[in-house]
């Protein structure tokens, strides 16, 4: 158990060398054929970068082209042609190549985590088929235009399923100091030996589970929800695997995102007993620390941070990723003062924006009512958390703060929000629309619709048109051309030292 598909296929004492050779052969096969245009691969460690056939521009896709799949419609099914693109961890499809080249978001994405691959027998109606299988989903059967295309698509998917940053290990990093420790593991500030670049390294034991107090709180919350709803969340059965699932969710999310206001994943690897993520080291602290020093933020400051968070969350939603843990400590600030969302341990990759999740996830005081009640939640839950975040920036504490989390949940479900007199009327108007208990009426729901000749940032600004955000230049903000209200610089930290860590 635990061995990758590639390792099982290779086997033997020289598994690593043979696996490397297999990956090299796969890469040679995944070049742009006649039918597969714009073939590129993301620049990841241990993988040779393949340039696009026109312009030499790199993208996040390994290969792309037209494929057919069988779509079920009521009692019948038929084959339908669509444009597919393969990235590290996901297979997405668009209605046609034009939508793909216009950088539209995929109509749907297929998470390749824990999937397997097999060649399918040809039928009288369709040939050159292969299948992607997952233990909890219906199989995805795809038909290629010819045998050469099938070989290359299968080589590409095989490469993705076995993709691992084999060329990096702990030996490639020097540990400078610990910057955070919790029940899930520890985060270190590290320097990559060959480049001198400084990163944040999250190290989590595969066997670790949340500590006993958190387990007790979790069980109490399940019982409280059972009383309210008559059901127990199915995630209870996964309690022992919470930590590992959380880290895998974080890796899957960070592998596909590329945004100026979201931390970037640079390397991901594992040892026999640990998972490791190597990400941006963000030097300016977080919103929680800023709030601790300022007590409350001026409204222009809060509007700036809220707008950058909105751009990041809208991007995630367009990628069909629910963040689900927005709170001040997860909003980092870089040296210049721009935000960087971090900690995707509670994130979820949805197949569509209409998907509902019933998991009990998030942090007390920031969870939307529909999460607490267990009635199903979607992207609207992130906008509730945004409302709580804005309130806390303006007031200094969340609206339903209580030392006891169960009391906080009860207050959230039964009490109305009271605003101090110093909160402006325009801020109150926005907060009332965000902190709407009925998620179907909550501000921010739905997709961003980009009009002809309009940038995505401008479309986000149009969607979020309100008096409190009227001064935001969304286009310049996304370019990081708007000066942040506060420049933290490099926070003081403990004296740098080489820490010995027994890995």
Indicate the annotated binding residues for ATP: 202
| Distances from the Cα of 126 to the Cα of 43, 76, 145, 154, 267, angstroms | 35, 16, 10, 17, 40
The per-residue b/e assignment along 86-108, b for 16 or more CB within 10 angstroms, e otherwise, is: bbbbbbbbbeebebbeeeebbee
CA 28 vs. chain centroid, Å, equals: 30
Cα dihedral 70, 72, 75, 79 sign: negative
Distances (CA, A) of 369 to 360, 366, 385, 429, 472: 11, 9, 10, 20, 29
| Cα 383 to Cα 434: distance, rounded to the nearest angstrom | 6
- Please give the Cα distance from 206 to 274 (Å, whole number): 5
- Taking a C-beta distance cutoff of 8 angstroms, is the pair 347, 325 a contact? yes
Among all chains, which residue has been given the structure tokens 């209870």? 236
Angle between helix 212-229 and 405-414 (nearest 10)? 30
Distance between CA 238 and CA 233 in Å, rounded?
A: 10
Q: Chain-centre distance of CA 300, in angstroms? A: 28
- Out of 172, 325, 334, 382, the active site residue is 325
List the beta bridge partners of residue 92.
85, 109
**Active-site residue flag, 334:** no
Rounded distance, CA 282 to CA 339, Å? 9
Per-residue tokens: 371: 């999460």
Tell me the residue ranges of DSSP E strands in 312-465: 321-322, 331-333, 339-341, 348-349
| Residue 108 in tokens | 């749907």
Q: Specify the DSSP class assigned to residue 377.
A: B
- Cβ atoms of 419 and 468 within 8 Å: the answer is no
DSSP code at position 52: P
CA angle 473, 474, 476 (to 5 degrees): 70
| Residue 286 DSSP label | B
Give the C-alpha separation, 215 to 233, whole Å: 14
Decide if 496 contacts 178 (C-beta within 8 A): no
Question: Is 383 within 8 Å of 432 (Cβ atoms)?
Answer: no
Edge-to-edge strand list for the sheet holding 129-134: 108-111, 90-94, 76-87, 61-73, 137-143, 129-134, 116-119
Buried b / exposed e over 251-280, threshold 16 CB at 10 Å, is: bbbbbbbebbbbbebbbbbbeeebbbbbbb
**CB of 3 within 8 A of CB of 15?**
no
List active site positions. 325
């Amino acid at each position: 158990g635990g061995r990758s598909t590639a390792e099982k296929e290779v086997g033997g004492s020289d598994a690593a060398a043979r696996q490397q050779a297999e990956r090299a052969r796969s890469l040679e096969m995944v070049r742009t054929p006649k039918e597969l245009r714009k073939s590129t691969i993301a620049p990841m460690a241990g993988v040779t970068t393949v340039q696009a056939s026109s312009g030499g521009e790199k993208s996040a896709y390994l290969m792309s082209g037209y494929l057919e799949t069988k779509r079920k419609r009521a009692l019948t099914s038929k084959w339908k042609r669509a444009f597919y693109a393969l990235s590290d961890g996901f297979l997405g499809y668009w209605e046609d190549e034009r939508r793909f080249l216009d950088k539209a978001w995929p109509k749907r994405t297929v998470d390749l985590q824990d999937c397997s691959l097999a060649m399918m027998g040809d039928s009288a109606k369709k040939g050159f088929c292969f299948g992607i299988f997952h233990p909890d989903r219906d199989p995805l059967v795809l038909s290629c235009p010819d045998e050469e295309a099938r070989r290359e698509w299968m080589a590409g998917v095989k490469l993705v399923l076995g993709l691992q940053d084999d060329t990096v290990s702990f030996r490639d990093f020097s540990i400078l100091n610990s910057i955070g420790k919790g029940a899930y593991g520890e985060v270190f500030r590290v320097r990559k030996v060959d480049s001198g670049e400084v990163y944040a390294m999250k190290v989590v034991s595969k066997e670790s589970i949340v500590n006993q107090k958190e387990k007790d709180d979790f069980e109490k919350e399940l019982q409280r929800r059972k009383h309210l709803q008559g059901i127990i969340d199915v995630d209870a059965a996964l309690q022992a695997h919470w930590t590992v699932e959380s880290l895998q969710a974080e890796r899957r999310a960070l592998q596909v995102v590329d945004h100026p206001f979201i931390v970037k994943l640079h390397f991901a690897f594992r040892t026999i007993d640990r998972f490791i993520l190597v990400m941006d080291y963000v030097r300016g602290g977080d919103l929680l620390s800023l709030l601790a020093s300022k007590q409350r933020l001026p409204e222009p400051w809060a509007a700036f941070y809220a707008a950058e968070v909105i751009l990041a969350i809208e991007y995630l939603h367009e990628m069909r990723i629910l963040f689900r843990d927005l709170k001040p400590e997860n909003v980092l600030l870089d040296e210049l003062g721009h935000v960087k969302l971090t900690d995707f341990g509670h994130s979820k990759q949805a197949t569509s924006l209409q998907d509902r999740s019933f998991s009990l996830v998030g942090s007390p005081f920031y969870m939307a009512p529909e999460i607490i009640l267990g009635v199903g939640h979607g992207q609207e839950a992130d906008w509730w958390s945004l409302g709580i975040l804005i309130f806390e920036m303006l007031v200094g504490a969340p609206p339903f703060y209580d030392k006891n989390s169960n009391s906080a949940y009860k207050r959230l479900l039964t009490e109305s929000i009271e605003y101090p007199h110093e909160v402006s009327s325009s801020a109150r108007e926005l907060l009332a629309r965000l902190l709407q208990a009925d998620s179907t009426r909550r501000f921010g729901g739905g997709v961003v619709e980009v009009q002809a000749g309009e940038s995505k940032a401008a479309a986000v600004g149009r969607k979020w048109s309100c008096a409190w955000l009227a001064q935001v230049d969304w286009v310049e903000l996304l370019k990081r051309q708007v000066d942040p209200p506060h420049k933290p610089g490099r926070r003081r930290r403990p004296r740098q030292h080489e820490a010995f860590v027994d890995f």
